[in-house]
Structure 1
Amino acid sequence: MNKRKRLVMRSVILVVIALALGYTLFQTVFSDKKEPVAVGDTAPNFALKNLDGKEVELEDYKGKGVFLNFWGTYCPPCEKEMPAIQRQYEKYKDQGVVVLAVDIAETKLTVKKFVDEKNLTFPVVLDQQREVVDVYGVGNLPATYLISPEGKVIDKITGELNDTRVRNYMEQIKP
């Protein structure tokens, strides 16, 4: 009888291990893990609040070229590129190009102070829970996605931009 108990126990353990391995394999193969947004993809829509508390959706800008910039006040390259983005926005805003700046995980007060100091006039939204950053797969900041008027991602740029580069990118997404 003792041998029989050991056989049953070993069989149960073997079945549990087999189920655990099967579940792990299934999760690995069929997981819902999203790939980062890539060039050629349709830009995922999102809705975030701006500094006035109004909800802004990416879809609101359908038909316009969108210069989607992920940034933070704590990021020195982000701070350095903002004046260039503002200058080029002033030139291109009447040509169907919009800048949508997504601040990552900061308070409204911190971002408002920064926006006021830099005299930024383009839309700034807050991704306080990092939801949009995760959907887009943003790693290092600053990160900029160029979105065509049709809503397709035509380029992704990581790193600080200057006036010339911003102007060239805005030319690419101008309707």
Structure 2
Amino acid sequence: MKKRRLVMRTTILVILAAAVAYTLYANLTKDNRMKVEVGKQAPDFVLVDMEGKKHKLSDYKGQGVFLNFWGTWCKPCEAEMPYINNQYNHFKDMGVQVLAVNVSESELAVNQFIERKGLDFPNVIDTDGQVQAAYGINPLPATFLIDKNGKVVKYHTGQLTEATVAEYMEKIKP
């Protein structure tokens, strides 16, 4: 009877240890599993903006694209939006485009956010999360700098300052 309990306890401990080890491994290596690599072609996609206009990433070839993933509930996203808007208005005539991808929120929430912040650049909604999955986005905000040839130049996760946004847009200016 005692031997049986010992075997059961040992089996349970081994299973728990394996689960903990796997969880640690998965969390520590998730950054190495980025789906979009710097220097590689950015995955193409088509999303619709708030006015119903389709935006296909490959249509922006020849221009730099500041691709930003965000959510209305994300405080760092909210904080960086005015900086992105200011720099978009400065760089848009120099061949730099901003494409802001909202991660699966309602049109109403996104439109209210855009109006409240007075945003001028295109905002699209990734309703089914396919673009977010293709780019391996986690956490928000996440920004990809894409050059005029459609290649990823840089990936940044976390809140941006206005100086950093300006520096990044300068970097992808054709």
Residue 41 of structure 2 aligns to a residue whose secondary structure is coil
- Amino acid aligned to 1:82: M
The equivalent residue for 1:167 is: 166
The equivalent residue for 2:137 is: 138
The equivalent residue for 1:71 is: 70
Rounded Cα–Cα distance in structure 2 between residues aligned with 1:110 and 1:54 = 18
Rounded Cα–Cα distance in structure 2 between residues aligned with 1:152 and 1:56 = 17
- Amino acid aligned to 1:89: Y
- Amino acid aligned to 1:137: G
1:86 and 2:85 aligned = yes
The equivalent residue for 2:125 is: 126
Provide, for residues 78-130 of structure 1, a one-character-per-residue CA deviation record: whole Å limited to 9, x for no partner. 00000000011111000000000000010011000100111101010010111
TM-score, normalization by structure 1: 0.79
Rounded Cα–Cα distance in structure 2 between residues aligned with 1:131 and 1:81 = 24
List structure 1 segments (4+ residues) > 6 angstroms apart after TM superposition.
none
Rounded Cα–Cα distance in structure 1 between residues aligned with 2:154 and 2:64 = 12
Provide, for residues 23-46 of structure 1, a one-character-per-residue CA deviation record: whole Å limited to 9, x for no partner. xxxxxxxxxxx9510101100100
The equivalent residue for 1:39 is: 38
The equivalent residue for 2:60 is: 61
Deviation of residue 68 (structure 1)?
Answer: 0.1
Rounded Cα–Cα distance in structure 2 between residues aligned with 1:130 and 1:158 = 18
Rounded Cα–Cα distance in structure 1 between residues aligned with 2:118 and 2:160 = 18
The equivalent residue for 2:96 is: 97
Rounded Cα–Cα distance in structure 2 between residues aligned with 1:106 and 1:42 = 27
Rounded Cα–Cα distance in structure 2 between residues aligned with 1:150 and 1:50 = 23
- Aligned-residue sequence identity (percent) comes to 51
The equivalent residue for 1:107 is: 106
Deviation of residue 54 (structure 1)?
Answer: 2.3
Rounded Cα–Cα distance in structure 1 between residues aligned with 2:51 and 2:92 = 21
Rounded Cα–Cα distance in structure 1 between residues aligned with 2:53 and 2:173 = 26
Rounded Cα–Cα distance in structure 2 between residues aligned with 1:35 and 1:97 = 25
Rounded Cα–Cα distance in structure 1 between residues aligned with 2:41 and 2:65 = 13
TM-score, normalization by structure 2: 0.80
Residue 132 of structure 2 aligns to a residue whose secondary structure is helix
Rounded Cα–Cα distance in structure 2 between residues aligned with 1:56 and 1:76 = 26
Provide, for residues 122-149 of structure 1, a one-character-per-residue CA deviation record: whole Å limited to 9, x for no partner. 0100101110000011110000000000
Unpaired segments ≥5 residues, structure 1: 1-33
- Amino acid aligned to 2:57: L
Unpaired segments ≥5 residues, structure 2: 1-32
Rounded Cα–Cα distance in structure 1 between residues aligned with 2:163 and 2:34 = 31
Deviation of residue 171 (structure 1)?
Answer: 0.6
